[in-house]
């Protein structure tokens, strides 16, 4: 079922000159890659919640306006763009890795697993992949890595918004279960109020308890888990 398309606010002046393009996608299409998948991740630096990866196949013959890197947009702008992107793309999927899987696998393996889940969810096999950053956590034979790719590639920018909005919604929905941690505001990322909550209450069941921040907590009720330790998979 198609989502109800939201009205995206008028672009702020600062964003008008920073539109991502299709140069990378066109080069791959022209080289014979029919299905080009843009990939981006969110949640790698969080202390709590899942690692989330978005995968998107953009159409060759239809454009979308006001698309920007998710980090440049406000939460309201991302939410509005989310609905437009879902209606626009040829295929999209989200791959999650839970906090417990992050603890058990470590970040590198967790990124690979989330990427695999996202690509498998597309329902089409990629001929080429464009991903944000310097590290190939996908492993496709035709992977193109782009530093600051979410500001360069339309496919990555679209994937970044879908991943960010999806994970933010999860953290907002989780917030009521853990009052005092402000997950609806910080989305599980470090900030002074988040750190103070952990120091006062200890880590919640959705915290990544093998992360380095556990070593600095003046709270004696829980020790940092060793990588690949006793975290259960949920």
DSSP class of residue 52? E
Are the C-beta atoms of 162 and 150 separated by less than 8 Å?
no
DSSP 97-118: E-HHHHHHH-HHHHHHHHHHHH
Q: pLDDT digit string (tens) for 211-232?
A: 776 676 655 455 555 555 544 3
Domains of the chain, each with CATH number or no CATH: 19-174 (3.30.420.10), 176-216 (no CATH)
Q: Of the given ranges (113-122, 181-190, 200-209), which has the lowest mean pLDDT?
A: 200-209
Report which secondary-structure segment, H or E, holds 186.
helix 183-186
pLDDT surpassing 50 at residue 39? yes
Which of 26-40, 64-78, 113-127, 178-192 shows the lowest mean pLDDT across its residues?
Answer: 64-78
Least confident of 13-17, 153-157, 183-187, 211-215: 13-17
Nearest by Cα to 118 from 199, 25, 55: 55
How many Cα atoms are found within 13 Å in the side-chain-facing hemisphere of 143?
A: 15
Provide the pLDDT confidence category of residue 199 given band limits of 50, 70 and 90: confident
pLDDT value at 3 more than 50: no
Nearest of 205, 206, 203 to residue 223 by alpha carbon: 203
Burial zone of 25 (CB within 10 Å; 0-12 exposed, 13-18 middle, 19+ buried): buried
- For 210, counting Cβ atoms within 10 Å of its Cβ (0-12 exposed, 13-18 middle, 19+ buried), the class is buried
Strands 143-146 and 128-132: parallel
pLDDT confidence band for 96 (50 / 70 / 90): very high
* Residue 74 binned pLDDT confidence (cut-offs 50, 70, 90): confident
Model confidence at 9, pLDDT cuts 50, 70, 90, reads low
């Amino acid at each position: 079922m198609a989502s109800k398309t939201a009205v995206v606010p008028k672009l702020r002046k600062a964003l008008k000159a920073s539109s991502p393009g299709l140069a990378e996608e066109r080069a791959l299409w022209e080289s014979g890659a029919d299905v080009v998948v843009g990939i981006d991740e969110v949640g790698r630096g969080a202390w709590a919640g899942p690692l989330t990866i978005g995968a998107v196949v953009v159409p060759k013959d239809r454009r979308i306006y006001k698309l920007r890197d998710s980090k440049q947009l406000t939460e309201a702008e991302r939410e509005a763009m989310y609905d437009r992107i879902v209606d626009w793309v040829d295929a999209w999927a989200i791959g999650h890795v839970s906090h417990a899987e992050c603890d058990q696998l470590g970040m590198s393996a967790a990124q690979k697993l989330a990427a695999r889940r996202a690509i498998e969810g597309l329902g089409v096999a990629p001929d080429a992949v464009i991903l944000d950053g310097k590290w190939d956590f996908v492993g496709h034979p035709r992977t193109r890595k782009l530093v600051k790719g979410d500001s360069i590639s339309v496919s990555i920018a679209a994937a970044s918004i879908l991943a960010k909005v999806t994970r933010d919604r999860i953290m907002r929905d989780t917030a009521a279960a853990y009052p005092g941690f402000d997950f609806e505001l910080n989305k599980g990322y470090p900030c002074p109020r988040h750190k103070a909550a952990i120091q006062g209450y200890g880590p919640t069941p959705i915290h990544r308890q093998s992360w380095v921040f556990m070593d600095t907590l003046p709270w004696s009720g829980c020790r940092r888990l060793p990588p690949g330790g006793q975290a259960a998979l949920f």
